[in-house]
């Protein structure tokens, strides 16, 4: 394949196109296929070599693809990304010219993935354009999404709407990378409203749920995050340990906020021991231990984008600490000064007003059932279930 001539290549493309072999055509126009190593395909006069070889319906696609290969060979990833965008635009035209047909969707999937990967490579090699190349790539991907979503009058067997989720997943990856999460909302809304929602391939649904779950984490919608990330984890291939670990990186703190603490076994199994000390400290109400765990693994939490989430676990830690004070006192009226003393023992430099504010917040968050007697500076807790189980309270 490394010595594939232009004639041989174009014959293969024409054969796949005429036979409507979408998967094979996608392979022949993939930048990840071995044909890109063929030196004859990197010749300068590519348009002249391809012209007249019987592939008129996809002429522009082939030319853009071969020019992209040439740019990659010269390590000009900005130019390569522009060529691939042209390739995607030509695929969009091809799809529009094929009413009531969807056999070309595998080709669309291939060129969209290649465009995203090229745009990422371009930005890694040119930090000045950070975000700009991916933004342009997203515009091209959106055109593919529009073609698929607009095909709403075609029979289910041949509709292009089945390709919506694949493109949406590529767009979600781009928007997360350039941190424009506000652009995810209309895409998510479109998928949730689609009649094809249950017909999409399982692998694509897993990817989609993962990103929707991640967005929900950022939005502090922990119930939705739990549902989506749990689905992604449970449906992910059991042999895909790496993917399961990535999902758990977000699912573990969500579960902890909702009151479900991970076992040491699952943390060890998926190499997530960065949470071990944090789990132990939260359970024990050890505020200083929580701070130490956050400091020790700060890089991991920040790079994973979950630092602000795990920091919220201090609220659970406060709840557990105050519960220990209640259990030690064995009465339903507790001096605020005792709670302040417990906090100071945990290395927290707080005064009476700050302690009172913490207690008030926990009451507001339904983590403590009771009220504060301001004149007497006491916490009065309910005689029935004063510290409700976290799993029944949820997150605020």
pLDDT tens digits, 232-273: 999 999 899 999 999 999 999 999 999 999 999 999 999 999
| pLDDT > 70 fraction of the chain, expressed in percent and rounded | 94
According to DSSP H, which parts of 258-351 are helical? 264-269, 276-284, 287-296, 298-304, 307-311, 313-329, 336-345
Assign domain 313-393 to a CATH class.
mainly alpha
> pLDDT at residue 126 above 80?
no
Lowest-pLDDT range of 17-26, 42-51, 196-205, 279-288? 42-51
Output the furthest CA–CA distance in the chain (Å, rounded): 93
Is the CB of residue 43 less than 8 Å from the CB of residue 6?
yes
Please give the Cα distance from 102 to 104 (Å, whole number): 5
User: Residues 162, 167, 169, CA angle at the centre, nearest 5°?
Assistant: 110
Confidence of residue 54 (pLDDT cuts 50, 70, 90): low
> pLDDT at residue 151 above 90?
no
**Domain spans in the chain, listed from the N-terminal domain onward:** 6-200, 264-306, 313-393
Output the pLDDT for position 301.
95
Q: What is the mean pLDDT of the chain?
A: 90
pLDDT tens digits, 320-354: 999 999 999 989 999 999 999 999 999 889 999 99
Tokens of 66: 């071969």
């Amino acid at each position: 394949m490394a010595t594939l001539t232009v004639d041989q290549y174009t014959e293969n493309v024409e054969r796949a196109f005429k036979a409507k072999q979408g998967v094979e055509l996608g392979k022949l126009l993939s930048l990840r296929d071995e044909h890109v190593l063929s030196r004859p395909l990197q010749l300068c006069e590519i348009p002249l070599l391809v012209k007249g070889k019987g592939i008129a319906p996809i002429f522009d696609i082939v030319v853009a693809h071969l020019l992209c290969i040439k740019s990659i060979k010269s390590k000009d990833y900005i130019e390569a990304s522009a060529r691939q965008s042209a390739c995607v635009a030509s695929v969009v035209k091809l799809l529009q010219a094929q009413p009531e047909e969807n056999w070309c969707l595998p080709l669309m999937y291939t060129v969209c993935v290649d465009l995203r990967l090229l745009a990422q490579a371009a930005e890694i090699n040119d930090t000045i354009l950070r975000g700009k190349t991916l933004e342009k790539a997203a515009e091209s991907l959106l055109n593919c999404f529009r073609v698929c979503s607009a095909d709403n009058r075609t029979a289910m067997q041949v509709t292009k709407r089945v390709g919506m989720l694949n493109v949406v997943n590529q767009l979600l990856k781009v928007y997360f990378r350039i941190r424009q999460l506000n652009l995810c909302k209309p895409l998510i809304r479109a998928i949730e409203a689609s009649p094809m929602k249950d017909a999409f391939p399982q692998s694509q649904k897993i990817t989609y749920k993962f990103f929707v779950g991640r967005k929900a984490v950022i939005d502090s919608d922990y119930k939705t995050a739990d549902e989506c990330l749990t689905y992604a984890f449970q449906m992910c291939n059991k042999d895909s340990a790496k993917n399961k670990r990535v999902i758990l990186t977000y699912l573990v703190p969500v579960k902890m906020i909702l009151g479900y603490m991970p076992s040491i076994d699952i943390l060890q199994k998926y190499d997530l021991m960065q949470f071990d000390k944090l789990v132990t400290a939260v359970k024990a109400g050890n505020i200083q231990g929580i701070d130490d765990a956050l400091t020790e693994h700060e890089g991991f939490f920040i790079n994973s984008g979950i630092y602000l989430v795990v920091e919220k676990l201090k609220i659970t830690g406060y709840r557990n600490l105050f519960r220990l004070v209640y259990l030690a006192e064995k009465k339903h009226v507790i001096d605020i000064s005792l709670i302040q003393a417990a906090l100071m023992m945990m290395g927290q430099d707080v005064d009476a007003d700050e302690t009172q504010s913490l207690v008030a917040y926990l009451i507001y968050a339904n983590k403590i059932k009771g009220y504060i007697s301001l004149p007497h500076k006491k916490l009065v807790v309910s005689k029935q279930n004063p510290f409700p189980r976290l799993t029944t309270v949820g997150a605020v």
